[in-house]
Structure 1
Amino acid sequence: MKYNIKMIGLDLDGTLLTEKKELLPYTKQILHEAIEKGIIVLMATGRPFMGIPEELRLYPGIRYALTSNGARVVDMQENKVLIEKLLPLEKAKKALETLAKYDTLQEVYFDGQGYADADKMKHIGRYHHNPYMWEYLLTTRKAVPDIMGLVNEQNRDMDKIQGLFADMDERQAAWAELEQQDGLALVGSLGYNIEINASGVNKGTALVELGRMLGIEREEIMACGDGDNDADMLKEAGLGVAMGNAIEKVKEAADYITVSNDEQGAAKAIEKFALRGGELC
């Protein structure tokens, strides 16, 4: 089967970026070729908008960004929010109260900006188990003295909540508690975190909705990912590509499995299917 790819949604961590959070030359070349061909290329990430590397936010030809697992999709050229599916304030407060029972670094995202507990950020290595994520969090989050105080001050719905756990048994217990709360969508793309969105929010539905807005059919959409929050996106896209380093759940959801992020597997899949007209075997 040949694909006529008109839009490509790309996860960042573990997919487009290497383990060291780099965007390598071959990947840049392939992105450029896809954009020159008229394909809409966009980030499809769990990160807040301001957590996207500046290199990609300003990348020539990349106009759209799907952020916070689909809670917020923005047109960067028009500085306009196209899709917004927020986590209701009261549900967010209840979830934060649950996270606070455990040893967690809590984050909340408002309007594409992430906020995190200042004291916990001083001990980033306790909560972010991947050292390559430390600089990312420290440079993209605004430190606040009290997360719940910020939420009460804002007094409005938000993009997303995240809890980073020091202890995996506590993560399992917190997940079980949160599952009992109505109106929440839970994923854990890092393995040691819990990401909390409003029920029904995921990258897949947002990517397909954006496609409809742009006159692009589901069958013309390609998506690449590796983590728990990418499984729905790979199922929804016409061509779902799992990275070689993806978790098993994502590989099972995929139509094709490429090589790892450190081997620039996303770029190789784009070249194969979107640029060179390759077919599934």
Structure 2
Amino acid sequence: MERRIKMIGLDLDGTLLTEKKELLPYTRQVLDKAIKEGILVLMATGRPFMGIPEELRYYPGIRYALTSNGARVLEIEGEKVLIEHLLPLERAKKALETLSKYDTLQEVYFGGQAYAPEDKMKHIGRYHHNPYMWEYLLTTRKPVPDIREFVEKQDRDMDKIQGLFADMEERDAAWKELSQQEGLALVGSLGYNIEINASGVNKGTALVELGRMLGIDREEIMACGDGDNDADMLREVGFGVAMENAIDKVKEAADYITVTNDEQGAAKAIERFALRGGELC
């Protein structure tokens, strides 16, 4: 019988990577098996392209990357942009103005690169509540003196905005205010952040759009995730897998709930449902 799964979209934080941001050997073995069997494996992340760990950004056999929650999808060789749904500049500036009312570390993503204010990066622990994320941010963000001034100078539409909050009550207030602005899609994959894309942008629609470009039906696409920005993806694809550590919203959207990311649940689900001899074969 022909294999059902031809493409697999994988979230990174809380899904493919452990809590310590590690890619473990068994997971590597399963990814290698899937690639060898001709399955298109790709990262489907809220991170910018340059925020994907290098070991995965240029993983042998991985040809595509879905980044910034689906705002930018690339063919990795040559970094050719296949799908681009950008946040219009004026809406982005208004959203940044709202975020600036609160105690936030604001990030802007342009062309696959994230930029953050250098003064706030010096106090990363105040805004990133997970210490395992600190090195990631400090090594992948380009510091700028003033984020809003930087955006003015760029004078172009962007992939995404992210605000990291010191105080959760302020996050709630900012979310309420931002949700009243037109043309924005809001998610919060970390629980203490707000990610802002153009309206209609999410991992699910981008993954299905890429599949269509490559001649793969949505029913032949599998996805694994755990956070707020993964719920649409699991609903959109043919077979959605939630991690045991996923939020309830994601579990409700899933066809199957695997074990936690620290137990390599994504790899176990791939082996069970996507590889030759698995349940969906």
Q: Same fold (TM over 0.5)?
A: yes
Question: Structure 2: which amino acid aligns with 1:274?
Answer: A
Question: Structure 2: which amino acid aligns with 1:271?
Answer: E
CA distance in 1, matches of 2:113, 2:271: 33
Per the alignment, residue 202 of structure 2 pairs with 202
Per the alignment, residue 211 of structure 1 pairs with 211
Give the Å deviation of 1:126. Answer: 0.2
Per the alignment, residue 128 of structure 2 pairs with 128
Give the Å deviation of 1:101. Answer: 0.0
Q: Deviations over 1:243-268 (max 9, x none)?
A: 01000000000000000000000000
Per the alignment, residue 101 of structure 1 pairs with 101
The answer to whether the 8 A contact 1:184-1:198 is kept is: yes
Per the alignment, residue 150 of structure 1 pairs with 150
Give the Å deviation of 1:160. Answer: 0.1
The answer to whether the 8 A contact 1:3-1:273 is kept is: no
Give the Å deviation of 1:128. Answer: 0.1
Per the alignment, residue 228 of structure 1 pairs with 228
Indicate the SS of the match to 1:208.
helix
Per the alignment, residue 17 of structure 1 pairs with 17
Give the Å deviation of 1:77. Answer: 1.6
Give the Å deviation of 1:278. Answer: 3.4
CA distance in 2, matches of 1:61, 1:192: 34
CA distance in 2, matches of 1:63, 1:279: 26
Q: After superposition, where does 1:182-193 map in structure 2 within 5 Å?
A: 182-193=182-193
The answer to whether the 8 A contact 1:3-1:279 is kept is: no
CA distance in 1, matches of 2:263, 2:74: 29
Aligned length: 279
Q: After superposition, where does 1:2-13 map in structure 2 within 5 Å?
A: 4-13=4-13
Give the CA RMSD over aligned residues: 1.0
CA distance in 2, matches of 1:86, 1:34: 31
Stretches of 4+ aligned residues off by more than 2 angstroms: 276-280
Question: Structure 1: which amino acid aligns with 2:205?
Answer: T
The answer to whether the 8 A contact 1:223-1:233 is kept is: yes
CA distance in 2, matches of 1:271, 1:77: 27
Indicate the SS of the match to 1:74.
strand
Question: Structure 1: which amino acid aligns with 2:274?
Answer: A
Per the alignment, residue 243 of structure 1 pairs with 243
CA distance in 1, matches of 2:265, 2:276: 15
Q: Which 5+ residue runs of structure 1 have no aligned equivalent? A: none
CA distance in 2, matches of 1:102, 1:214: 43
Give the Å deviation of 1:3. Answer: 6.1
Per the alignment, residue 67 of structure 2 pairs with 67
The answer to whether the 8 A contact 2:66-2:206 is kept is: yes
Indicate the SS of the match to 2:274.
helix
Per the alignment, residue 45 of structure 1 pairs with 45
CA distance in 2, matches of 1:279, 1:235: 20
Q: Does 1:29 align with 2:25?
A: no
Indicate the SS of the match to 1:30.
helix
The answer to whether the 8 A contact 1:3-1:277 is kept is: no
Indicate the SS of the match to 2:189.
coil
Per the alignment, residue 119 of structure 2 pairs with 119
CA distance in 1, matches of 2:242, 2:260: 9
Per the alignment, residue 254 of structure 1 pairs with 254
Give the TM-score taking structure 1 as reference length.
Answer: 0.98
Give the Å deviation of 1:276. Answer: 4.2
Per the alignment, residue 87 of structure 2 pairs with 87
Question: Structure 1: which amino acid aligns with 2:124?
Answer: I
Per the alignment, residue 177 of structure 1 pairs with 177
Give the Å deviation of 1:59. Answer: 0.5
Question: Structure 2: which amino acid aligns with 1:16?
Answer: L
CA distance in 2, matches of 1:78, 1:154: 23
CA distance in 2, matches of 1:25, 1:102: 42
Indicate the SS of the match to 1:279.
coil
Q: Which 5+ residue runs of structure 2 have no aligned equivalent? A: none
CA distance in 2, matches of 1:79, 1:212: 20
Give the Å deviation of 1:199. Answer: 0.1
Question: Structure 2: which amino acid aligns with 1:13?
Answer: D
Q: Which moved more, 1:268-277 or 1:246-255?
A: 268-277
CA distance in 2, matches of 1:161, 1:202: 14
